[in-house]
Chains A and B, each alone.
Chain A
Amino acid sequence: MDEFAPVEETYKIAPEIGPLGHTEFLEGIHLEPAPIEMSGVCKSYEEGRQALADISLRIEKGKFVYLLGPNGAGKTTLFRLLYAAEGLTRGELRVNGYELHRLKNRQVPHLRRSLGIVFQDLKLIPRWTVFENVSFALRVLGRKKREIAEKASQALQKVGLNGKGHFTPDRLSAGEQQRAAIARAIVNEPALLLADEPTGNIDVRTAEDIVRLFEEINRGGTTVLFGTHDEGLAAFLPKERVVLEQGRIVESTLDPALPGPTAA
């Protein structure tokens, strides 16, 4: 068994009232794992601060979901759990089929290769050109030079930066830098795109353009989790939403999470 492969499980739902309001018994049905499944996830720190409490949600493939909440609500902590930058204190968390509550260190790179991540502070490498920043994700995967060139160019075109690949980040505007970071996140065509406050440092007009860009990416089949504190932005382009406050979900338009898997 390839220990780096995501886990696929057969869900068995006991004969009780299910989420659709009637008795269901779906033993033996193989359900494709959702990109994100969380059950009772908690995150506490040593000093006793609880950043997340009892988070349960399931984001289906192809969804565009806003993760809303004020600063300090726990959005960034949740993102960091999703790409295994931090470990959870309690609960179960599955991302693209990887069980993060049991993930070994050597599996983390493989998890991250299945994701696209747009950081709040962009994390573009200043001494590299935009093209080098974008293509780096493919170099890490060991792709051939021709493929790297092709896909990086496509990604830059998609975000509207074709012709600027040879610039270093300092020569781009804030919005263009944001687009470069998005291009890097999508260049390896990930199934799931995580964006933590991608519009935090730009003006409203540019932010709206960025949201539209994410929508376009989502229309291509990529699941998007878009973190923002800006309710206005979420209202500009309404989508599914999960609202965090003091580490708890206070509002969600998602279907309630299905019960976790039991032994087949």
Chain B
Amino acid sequence: MGFYFRQAGQNLVQNFGMNALTLGTITFAFLIFGLFGIVAHNARALMEEWGGRIRVTAYLADSVPAEGANRLREQIGALEEVQAVSFRSKEEALKTLEGKLAIRTGLLKGLSRNPLPASFEIQLKPPFRDKEGVDRLAAKLKGISEIADLQYGAEWIERFSAFLVLLQVLGAGMSALLLLTTFLIVAHMIRLNIFSRREEIEVMRAVGATSFFIRAPFYLEGIFQGLAGAGLAWAGLYGLYQLFLIQVYDPLKVLLGNFPLRFLPWEYSAGFIVGGVLLGILGTRVAAGRYAGV
């Protein structure tokens, strides 16, 4: 086994220029693929977080007494779509408004009575955090007589969700094209590598080397290049992520509600490694067939 590794090592060093080019191509492709992965991963996480902020506000009629409000809360809490219900009294609503108005609280001093209604803030369960789920809940709440008004809206979520799907499809499509192009380039470069050693291969065959003996060093080279390329890309991505995070994102993240930007999850990182190895193996398989076979 050591012989194969030594041969692979010698071959990598001997054709350094070509191998460096192959490595660079693989690294670049995985870097781009990884960037799409980070964007998609964070966009999905952002969608989930924003989805969690979807609320339905049910305003109560002024005539509803406190005991009625409690009974109503239990009734709403029992609905299939509802995850949590919180009650805000008229007084709490006024306090909240005063807080938002800040230095302009003087505007409220002229009021003879509290005009703000009591309300229920209703949080939906994850499967219903879309327009359809919201509409379904709203239809049920409209049937409750004590509820004077409803406030809800999921259109913006739907539009953003559609945009994200488009982005993901485009990203996946472009990544696939990029990977395919990289695969073809890598296979071609490996073929050139093998072609440059055709005399050696002929000698190997002449003295009775099996196909495996001839091909093994090439496969090891391919695996090394795939692994190294994916590894370098991963390291590059991490470096870019840290740089972007510190220099660009952190000062602006309040615009996205302080959403924490994430790096690739471990499954994606493992996928990098596996992808690199597969690229190396498949590229060699395609390239080696013509020259290294017996």
Q: How far is the CB of B123 from chain A (nearest CB, A)?
A: 68
B209 and A125 form a contact (CB under 8 A): no
Is B149 interfacial (CB-CB < 8 Å)? no
Docked complex: B248-279 residues within 8 A CB-CB of A: none
**Distance from B215 Cβ to chain A, minimum over Cβ atoms (Å):** 13
Task: With CB as the reference atom, state the residue of chain B lying closest to A122.
Answer: B203
Q: Bits for B182-205, please: 1 = Cβ < 8 Å to A, else 0.
A: 000000000000000001101111
Chain A proximity of B16: nearest CB distance (Å): 13
Contact A123 B202, CB 8 Å, known A105-B294, A140-B213: yes
**Distance between A224 CB and nearest chain B CB, rounded to angstroms:** 17
Give per-residue flags for B3-28: 1 if the beta carbon is below 8 A from chain A beta carbons, else 0: 10000000000100000000000000
Partner of A125, one of B199, B208, B210, B294: B199
**Distance in Å from the Cβ of A177 to the closest Cβ of chain B?**
14
Interface size on A, residues (CB 8 A): 23
Contacts A127-B14, A139-B3 known; A184 to B207 CB distance under 8 Å? yes
A112 at interface, CB cutoff 8 A? yes
Give residues in B with beta carbon < 8 Å to A: 3, 14, 199-200, 202-210, 213, 294
> Which of B3, B200, B210 is the one whose CB lies under 8 Å from A109?
B210
A112 in contact with B207 (CB, 8 Å): yes
User: Which residues of A have CB within 8 Å of B200?
Assistant: 125
B206, B208, B209 interface centre (most CB from chain A within 10 Å): B208
Residues of B within 8 A of A106 (CB): 210, 294
Residues of A74-112 contacting chain B, CB below 8 A: 83, 85, 105-106, 108-112
Any B CB within 8 A of the CB of A254: no
Minimum CB distance partner of A187 in chain B:
B207
Bound form: Cα–Cα A110–B122 in Å: 78
From A128, which residue of chain B is reached at the shortest CB distance? B200
19 contacts between A and B (CB under 8 A): A83-B206, A106-B210, A106-B294, A112-B205, A113-B207, A113-B208, A115-B208, A117-B207, A119-B206, A123-B199, A124-B203, A125-B200, A125-B203, A136-B203, A137-B207, A137-B208, A140-B204, A140-B207, A184-B207
Residues of B within 8 A of A113 (CB): 207-208
Q: Which of B3, B14, B208 contacts A112 (CB 8 A)?
A: B208
B294 touches A108 (CB 8 A): yes
Contacts of A117 in B (CB 8 A): 206-207
Distance, CA A140 to CA B213, complexed state (A): 7
For residue B45, give the distance in angstroms from its CB to the closest CB of chain A. Answer: 53
CB-CB nearest in chain B for A124: B203
- A110–B208 contact, CB under 8 A? yes
Min CB distance A175 to B, Å, is 20
Residue of B nearest to A185 (CB): B207
State the Cβ distance, A5 to closest chain B Cβ, in Å. Answer: 15
Supposing A110-B208, A140-B213 touch, asked if A123 and B14 sit within 8 A by C-beta, the answer is: no
Assembled-state Cα–Cα distance A127/B7 (Å): 12
Q: Is A7 among interface residues, defined by CB-CB distance under 8 A? A: no
Residues of B within 8 A of A83 (CB): 206
